[in-house]
Structure 1
Amino acid sequence: MKVVDAYVHLFHVLVCISIVHLVNSSEIDTLMEFKKSVTNGNKLTTWNPSTTPCNGNKPNWEGLLCTNDTVSGIRLEGKDLGGIIDINILMKLPSLTTISFQNNSFEGEFPEVKKIRGLRSIFLSGNKFSKEVPENAFEGMRRLKKLYLGDNKFKGRIPFSLTTLPRLRDLMLQNNQFEGEIPAFVNDKLTIVNFANNNLRGPIPKRLQSFPASQFAGNSELCGPPLKKCTAEIPTSTIILIASVVVAALAAITAAFLILRHFGPSSKDAPPTYVNKGSHSDHDKMEQGCGKNGTKKIDSSLKLTFFRTDTEKFDLADLLKASAQILGGGVFGSSYKAALTSGKVIVVKRFKHMNNVTKEEFVKHMTRLGKLNHPNLVPLVAFYYREEEKLFVADYIQNVSLAVHLHGRRSNVRQTLHWPTRLKIVKGIARGLLHLYNELPSLIAPHGHLKSSNILLNPEFESLITDYGLVPITNQEQARDVMIAFKSPEYKQHGRITKKTDVWSLGVLILEIMTGKFPANSFQQSKGGDTELGNFLDSMMKEEPTSDVFDKEMGGFDNRNEGQMLTLLKIGLSCCEPNVDKRWDIREAVSKIEEVRENDEDDNIKHSKRPAWLSFKKS
Structure 2
Amino acid sequence: MEYKFVVTGFWVVLLVLLALLSHRVDSEPTQDKQALLAFISQIPHANRLQWNASDSACNWVGVVCDSNRSFVFSLRLPAAGLVGQIPANTIGNLAQLRILSLRANRLSGQIPSDFSNLKLLRSLYLQNNKFSGEFPASIPVLTRLNRLDLSNNNFTGSIPYSINNLTQLSGLLLENNGFTGTLPSISNLSLVNFNVSYNRLNGSIPASLSKFPASSFAGNLALCGGPLPPCNPFFPSPSPSPSSIPLPHQNPPPKNPKKLSKAAIIGISVGSVVLLLVLLLILILCLRKSRGKAAKTQKPPATARSAAVAEAGTSSSKDDITGGSGEGERNKLVFFGGGIYSFDLEDLLRASAEVLGKGSVGTSYKAVLEEGTTVVVKRLKDVVVNKKEFEMHLDALGKIKHDNVVPLRAYYYSKDEKLLLSDYMSAGSLSALLHGSRGSGRTPLDWDNRLRIALTTAKGLAHLHVSSKIVHGNIKASNILLRHDPPAAASVSDFGLIPLFASSTQPSRAAGYRAPELLDTRKPTFKSDVYSFGVLLLELLTGKSPIQASLGEEGIDLPRWVQSVVREEWTAEVFDVELMRYHDVEEEMVQTLQIAMGCVSTVPDQRPLMNDVVRMIEDMMSRDDGLRQSSDDPFRGSDGYTPPQGSRTPPPPALTP
TM-score norm. by structure 2 comes to 0.46
TM-score norm. by structure 1 comes to 0.49
Determine which structure has greater relative contact order: mean sequence separation of CA pairs < 8 Å that are 6+ residues apart, divided by chain length: 1
